[in-house]
Amino acid sequence: MIIIQNGQLVSPSGLTRADLALDGGKIVAIQPHIQPGSGDTVQDASGCYVFPGFIDGHTHLDMDNGVTTTADDFASGTRAAVCGGTTTLVDFATQDKGGTLSEALAAWHKKAEGKSSCNYAFHMAITDWNEAVKAELPALFQQGVTSFKAYMAYDALKVNDAELLDILSALKPLGGILGVHCENGQLVNALQAQQKALGHFSPAAHPVSRPAEVEAEAINRLCYLGKLAGAPVHVVHLSTALGLAEIRAARKNGVTVYAETCPQYLTLDESLYKAPGFEGAKYVMSPPLRTPADVQALRKAVADGEIDTIATDHCSYNFKGQKELGLADFTKIPNGGPGIEHRPMVVYTSMVQSGELALTGFCRLLAEGPAKLFGMYPRKGVLAVGSDADVTIWDPQAKTVITAARQQQNVDYTPYEGFAVTGMPKAVYVGGQLAAQYGQPTGIVAGSYVKR
């Protein structure tokens, strides 16, 4: 058995001083004091917080965007995840146009199996909706996929409004949840063309082509589609105050709307697109970084409990060779950025350390919230007897500086270069196995598929 002693156990309802025993991949005891027996391993958590392992509900690993493949695959991405304290991620298996959902699921299992340092589940991104695909849904649920994604932007991925409504209606009786990339794709295409017609080809044109209205209008439309279908909707990577206002209005209107935001929208802003040379390409992601006022509005929404989960949208491309594909044209820059390793540290330092967000809220947003939303609770997302032994021991005094030179992510930059961190994971257990210590992997590849 592993006995975690002297820590403060964190849950969304409060902190408790207790010891924890892990055995056979499960939490087997939680008591004020657990006496280790001979053969037990003791992990001292004095001065530390003990969290249910963090869950990242939005990652893109080993993803081919049609032109290039993400820099992180499941080996490097999950290794980086555990080093930051994340013990489970939910990656987006993505249907090929003309392909089936079961083919996509099989492909993603192949990418992840035997290589993953943390646990993994899959959302299924539906890009080609038709009756045959609809008929596949029950089989997907039987294989543990209960959450889905649709895109309202990107020509190669998007579905139209009628299809969205039909997907929502089909998922409703099955109890599935649909996460949606909310940007009006037609407007994005038109605004991108407008920027190019004006001779604007640099990364600075990226946010101009995807203004807040493009996100807010899509959120508004999605919420009405949810209302029509009588189904819940999940807005992924919320980035604007305007979009937040739409979510508030829809909730008032009786629609069940879940909201995810990401560390980049809570800490970085659009001024980065004006960085010298081509540096702004590092921040070309969709939706783009926003104004400082948006950042403040989202931080307040996080603190006030209006956001359900903070995920990364980790979608890493190297600056050299990959982001550079768009040197002459910002629309050719592969969209996305890295963050899988640094989410807990960035959110803890910038929001918990600063006093804006309570530890309980931090636990809800990074562990319990995604576990509940994605059907993993109470197996995950809580420290309870019988739950999986996924545990993150957090040293609130530990300091480091984020730098690409020392990161585990297999990418040549980080958007958080130079960010001074206070608070990092002392030890991370995946299924009761020690996967990382103070940001370094132990080499144990203990992740398994989470069938939901």
Q: Which residues bind ligand URP (CB under 6 A)?
A: 60, 181, 285-286, 313, 315, 335-336
Q: How far is the CB of 237 from Zn ion (least distance, A)?
A: 6
Q: How far is the CB of 30 from ligand URP (least distance, A)?
A: 37
Tell whether the torsion through CA atoms of 122, 127, 128 and 134 is positive or negative. Answer: positive
- Contact partner, 335, from ligand URP, Zn ion, none, Cβ < 5-8 Å per class: ligand URP
Handedness of CA 164, 167, 168, 169 (dihedral sign): positive
Give the C-alpha distances (Å, rounded to integers) separating 306 from 42, 86, 224, 244.
39, 22, 19, 9
336 or 432: whose CB is closer to ligand URP?
A: 336
234 binds Zn ion (CB under 5 A): no
Among residues 80 and 436, whose Cβ is nearest to Zn ion?
A: 80
Q: Identify the residue among 313, 368, 395, 412 touching Zn ion (CB under 5 A).
A: 313
Cβ count within 10 A of residue 440: 10
Give the Cα separation of 323 and 68 in Å (integer). Answer: 10
Minimum CB–partner distance for residue 125 and ligand URP (Å): 9
How many Å from the N-terminal Cα to the C-terminal Cα in the chain?
27
Least distance from C-beta 335 to ligand URP, angstroms? 3
Alpha-carbon gap, residue 160 to 126, rounded angstroms: 12
Nearer to Zn ion, 217 or 313 (CB): 313
Q: State the minimum distance, in angstroms, from the CB of residue 98 to ligand URP.
A: 20
Partner from Zn ion, ligand URP, none contacting 336, C-beta within 5 to 8 A by type: ligand URP
Site string for Zn ion, 163-202 (x = CB under 5 A): ------------------x---------------------
DSSP 119-176: EEEEEEE--S--HHHHHHHHHHHHTT--EEEEESS-TTTB--HHHHHHHHHHHGGGT-
- What phi-psi label fits residue 375: left (phi over 0), alpha (psi between -120 and 50 degrees) or beta? left
Q: How far is CA 416 from the centre of its chain?
A: 16
Shorter beta-carbon distance to ligand URP: residue 96 or 304:
96
Our finding on whether 343 is near Zn ion (CB under 5 A) is: no
With CB under 5 to 8 Å by kind, the binding choice for 285 among ligand URP, Zn ion, none is: ligand URP
> Which option in Zn ion, ligand URP, none does residue 158 bind, with CB closer than 5 to 8 A by kind?
none
The reply on whether position 123 binds Zn ion by CB under 5 A is no
Nearest one of 117, 32, 79, 82 to 427, comparing CA atoms:
82
Dig out the tokens for 117 from the structure: 């340092």
Which of 381, 382, 346, 336 lies closest to 90, judged by CA? 381
Element (H, E) at 263: helix 263-267
CB of 355 to ligand URP, least distance (A): 30
Shortest distance, CB of residue 269 to Zn ion, whole angstroms? 19
Q: How many CB atoms lie within 10 A of CB 311?
A: 27
| CB nearer ligand URP, residue 60 or residue 234 | 60
Which residue, 58 or 299, has its beta carbon nearer to ligand URP?
58
In whole angstroms, the minimum distance from the beta carbon of 223 to Zn ion comes to: 17
User: Which residues of the shown chain bind Zn ion in the complex (CB under 5 A)?
Assistant: 181, 313
